[in-house]
Structure 1
Amino acid sequence: MSTSVTARPAYRSPPGTLHTILLAGTVPLFLGALLSDIAYYQSYQIQWSNFASWLLAGAELFGGLALLFALVNLVRTPRKGGRPLHYVLLLLAAWVVGLIASFQHAKDAWAVMPAGLLLTIVATVLACAAAWAGLNTRTEVAP
């Protein structure tokens, strides 16, 4: 007796082109903010803090729109568990931590460090994990 194993996509509707661009744009913006924070931490040139603030604002915009697309995709999936839910939760966590980092960067430039750097590190790691989970095209094996 032979058994056949079929593969089905993890998403009913895979991320579209605009969703992919928004998600992929979030990572370099958070990474640029992280590099700007590192430069500010080493030099204390206030302009690096300003760069980080603007890059965080862009990352929040891209991440928020990608989160909106991810939520629509989550509603359209036939089941509510698994990878689509992990992707949405990672993206939501990155967005919330990025928002807190933006609030931290809104303070006086001398008050940004070291909490701003740590929050930006966490937001960058979460954004990378969300992009990995969201853009991974592996299929799940149906039982």
Structure 2
Amino acid sequence: MTVTAPLTYRHTPSPLHAILLAGAVPLFLGGLLSDIAYSNTYQIQWANFAAWLIAGGLLFAGLALVFALVNLVRADHKAGRPVLYFLLLLVTWVLGLVNAFEHAKDAWAVMPSGLILSIVVTVLAFISAWTGLSNLRNGGAQ
């Protein structure tokens, strides 16, 4: 008789998944801080810094999104926390992509929409990382 454990949602991410997820937060935050610096100084290089930091955040968040998708597919229960985490990360990535397109414009055209998008994406990245990395499991519940 062979006993197999059912596939469940891997609640704690693998080390690589955690590094990618946690790495997206400071990159998006750096983009936000660069946007704030640009809005205060109008030095075009700050807009360039923001664009590159947002691109890096998208790379890290996109790779973390692949891990989240794999965990979601492997989950027994497709509702609840696995779906919430995946959707938060997906919305973060999509809005980050829109923000990257916004930052591809001329530097003068970036404000104020680029700053607003950077704020929203940074907050979403924090919430996604918090949801993905926190251990809220109570007993056997997800």
The answer to whether the superposition gives a TM-score over 0.5 is yes
1:10-29 pair list within 5 angstroms: 11-12=9-10, 14-29=12-27
Q: How far off its partner does 1:36 sit?
A: 0.1
Cα RMSD (Å): 1.4
Q: Could you list the runs of 4 or more consecutive aligned residues of structure 1 that deviate by over 2 angstroms after TM superposition?
A: 10-14, 140-143
TM-score, length of structure 1 as denominator length: 0.90
Which of 132, 135, 143 aligns to 2:133? It is: 135
Name the one with the larger strand percent: 1
- Structure 1 contact 12–78 (Cα < 8 Å) conserved: no
Q: Which residue of 2 aligns with 1:51?
A: 49
TM-score, length of structure 2 as denominator length: 0.90
1:36-75 pair list within 5 angstroms: 36-75=34-73
Measured in 2, the distance between the counterparts of 1:104 and 1:133 equals: 27
**Number of residue pairs the alignment of both structures matches:** 134
Greater relative CO, 1 or 2 (CA 8 Å, sep 6+): 1
Q: Report the 3-state secondary structure (helix = DSSP H, G, I; strand = E; otherwise coil) of the residue aligned with 2:76.
A: coil
- Structure 2 contact 103–114 (Cα < 8 Å) conserved: yes
Measured in 2, the distance between the counterparts of 1:39 and 1:18 equals: 32
Amino acid at match of 1:77: A
Amino acid at match of 1:138: L
Cα deviation digits, residues 91-130 of structure 1 (max 9, x gap): 0011011000000000001100000000010000000000
Q: Which residue of 2 aligns with 1:119?
A: 117
Q: How far off its partner does 1:13 sit?
A: 5.5
Give unmatched runs, 5+ long, in structure 2.
1-7
Measured in 1, the distance between the counterparts of 2:11 and 2:73 equals: 10
Q: Which residue of 1 aligns with 2:100?
A: 102
- Structure 1 contact 13–76 (Cα < 8 Å) conserved: no
- Structure 2 contact 9–77 (Cα < 8 Å) conserved: no
Give unmatched runs, 5+ long, in structure 1.
1-9
